[in-house]
Amino acid sequence: QVQLVESGGNLVLPGKSLRLSCVASGFTLSGYAIQWVRQAPGKGLEWVAITWNDGKNEHYADSVKGRFIISIDNSKNTVYLQMNALRPEDTATYYCAREDDPDMVSGYYLGVDVWGHGTTVTVSS
């Protein structure tokens, strides 16, 4: 069964760090990109970061650039999101999600077809 499972969400003080994990099962990361998308309580979706499976290509939202780092461990089929200098506005459910053919070799944008169930991060004193 193809699935993504996030973990690592917690209550954390402003300014502190937290690392989220996303474990893929039922498929290998080769040929895919994995991204993080977050959703603040009662709000819409906000894209956070993406990494290609070879780790050579990554992008970040301006709101997290310089504070968050996305990384991948292909041997563990796991993607991480290291979140530093956390702010109250980072409070959200964080989803990891799979994007097929991220280089659009097919000529199409295939969308984000597999999503995890999410993990909750609360930044508060």
Partner 1 sequence: DIVLTQSPARLSVSPGERATLSCRASHHIDSYLAWYQQKPGQAPKLLIYDASYRATGIPGRFSGSGSGTTFTLTISSLEPEDSGVYYCQQRSNWPVTFGGGTEVEI
Q: How far apart are CA 76 and CA 48, in angstroms?
A: 22
Q: Which residues pair with 120 in a beta bridge?
A: 93
Q: How far apart are CA 64 and CA 60, in angstroms?
A: 7
Q: How many of the chain's residues bind partner 1 (CB under 8 A)?
A: 25
Contact 71, 55 (CB under 8 A): yes
Looking at the Cβ atoms of 87 and 117, the one nearer to partner 1 is 117
Compute how many other C-beta atoms are within 10 angstroms of the C-beta atom of residue 80. Answer: 20
Looking at the Cβ atoms of 75 and 107, the one nearer to partner 1 is 107
Q: Segment 85-104, which members bind partner 1 (CB under 8 A)?
A: 95, 97, 99, 104
Q: Quickly tell me which residue has 């699935």 as its tokens.
A: 3
Q: Pick from 12, 18, 24, 35 the residue near partner 1 by CB under 8 A.
A: 35
Looking at the Cβ atoms of 74 and 114, the one nearer to partner 1 is 114
Q: Pick from 62, 66, 103, 125 the residue near partner 1 by CB under 8 A.
A: 62
**115, exposed or middle or buried, with CB in 10 Å at 0-12, 13-18, 19+?**
middle
Looking at the Cβ atoms of 13 and 103, the one nearer to partner 1 is 103
Which spans of this chain sit near partner 1 (rule: CB under 8 A)? 35, 37, 44-47, 50, 59-62, 95, 97, 99, 104, 108-113, 115-118
